[in-house]
Amino acid sequence: MALPLAGVRVLDVTTLLPGNYCTWLMGSLGADVIKIESPVTGDPMRSVGVQVNGQGATHHLVNRGKRSVVLDLKDGAGRDAFLRLVDTADVVVDSFRPGVMDRLGLGPDTLRARRPSLVVGSISGFGAEGPHAGLPAHDINGLAFSGHLERLPRESGTVPSAPTLPIANLVGGSLMPALGLVALVLRARTTGEGGWLDAALADGAALLPTVELADHLAGAALRSGGSVEYDGRPFYRVYELVDGFVAVGAVEAHYWAALCAALGLDEYADAQHDETRRADVVAAFSTRFRGLTKSALQQLLAGRNTCTTVVNSFADLLQDPHAVARELIREVAGLPMHLLAPPFRIDRARPAETTGAPRHGEHTREVLAELAGRSGASIPATTGVRP
């Protein structure tokens, strides 16, 4: 069965997590993603973290299914080869700071003048315009700008800590750009008109809607210090178990009532929003949960709708029956690590694996031979093209 983006070619001129994940998402939907890497070292993602088969574990997650071509975009021969690839492409995505591609003679206006149907995506920390444009940024900087880092829950008198989940990277630098690029490809296929997508880590984090931010936009005052939507109320918090933790999200009254019944705490069913009893309710639930193991709690909650979930570790996730049934984690022959599956199912199945993460420059000759319509052996090695 053809995947939705089959026939779409993406030139991936990105490095590190945000752009790599963005283009991998497109590749998992069927796009032919050609990863353009610089000579010598290529994408630093190759060296990040535990090395598996000589390449970083995260590289295996976000670059598999792509082909790696080494081109020196600062060299005339490399730029010429890149432009010839642009003539065959639907999308070009880069993650340089604003102005870098323009200085290389490969900016959005230049590329789209050459190929009007081309979709160009630029992923940066703060975007291409505005007072912060051009400033370097990683996930923590995007979160700091957005206001969300300041609002993270913390003990009084302590400073905020960056969450381990890189929200700005994955939302502002990956998911949102991927959505925009796919939409522009659809327009280009319909009208012949491409477009330029200017995506920023900071924008992606700042524009995430939350109840607290919405209320503040409507004129409500913000409470001092970090907070969460329900501020640690008994129906929306994490409790300790004998051997771990449990997350309770029983916001609706019927979920709360069902949880109270399952735990034998029916006397608190009418105290869900009673602030005068909050301390007593939290204490009672804390005591009850501390006497239960994960297994015992899951047996108590079986068949009941309580909006309550045992907190998994990453190790637990690998063995969780639901994760197994949903095929979230997969194994690939010859690779001694598990992989994360694409985050969507299409017609009841997750997209299958195609090829593993490429070695640096593994497909240079292959891709340029396709481009030239001749064998790889006839392509000369130059300062701009490394075989």
Last residue of a domain, one of 295, 319, 343: 319
Do 148 and 120 have their domain in common? yes
* Amino acid in the structure at residue 257: A
Size of the chain in residues: 387
State mean pLDDT over 114-131: 98
Mean pLDDT of the chain, nearest integer: 93
**pLDDT above 90: residue 222:** no
Of residues 231 and 188, more confidence is placed in 188
Element (H, E) at 338: strand 338-340
Q: What is the pLDDT of residue 173?
A: 98
Residue 230 is assigned to a structural domain of this protein: no
Say which CATH number the domain at 315 has: 3.30.1540.10
State mean pLDDT over 239-251: 97
Dihedral sign, Cα of residue 376, residue 381, residue 386, residue 387: positive
**pLDDT above 70: residue 381:** no
Instruction: List, for residues 173-212, the tens digit of each pLDDT value.
Output: 999 999 999 999 999 999 999 999 999 999 999 999 998 8
Last residue of a domain, one of 269, 300, 319: 319
Do 185 and 258 have their domain in common? no
User: What residue numbers bound the domain in which 299 lies?
Assistant: 236-319
Last residue of a domain, one of 288, 319, 350: 319
* Amino acid in the structure at residue 229: E
**pLDDT above 70: residue 225:** no
Share of the chain above pLDDT 90, in %: 87
- Sheet with 236-241, side-by-side order of all strands: 236-241, 244-249, 308-310
Q: Poorest-confidence range of 19-28, 70-79, 222-231? A: 222-231
Do 181 and 302 have their domain in common? no
Q: Are strands 51-52 and 55-56 parallel, antiparallel or unpaired?
A: antiparallel
Do 371 and 310 have their domain in common? no
Do 178 and 242 have their domain in common? no
Establish how many alpha carbons lie within 13 A of residue 277's alpha carbon, considering only the half-sphere containing its beta carbon. Answer: 12
Place of tokens 């021969």: 77
Number of domains the chain is built from: 2
**pLDDT above 60: residue 55:** yes
Residue 228 is assigned to a structural domain of this protein: no
Do 128 and 14 have their domain in common? yes
Instruction: List, for residues 1-22, the tens digit of each pLDDT value.
Output: 789 999 999 999 999 999 999 9
Nearest to 185 by CA among 83, 93, 321, 283: 93
Q: What is the pLDDT of residue 385?
A: 59
Do 128 and 274 have their domain in common? no
Q: What is the pLDDT of residue 372?
A: 83
Q: What is the pLDDT of residue 232?
A: 79
Do 193 and 264 have their domain in common? no
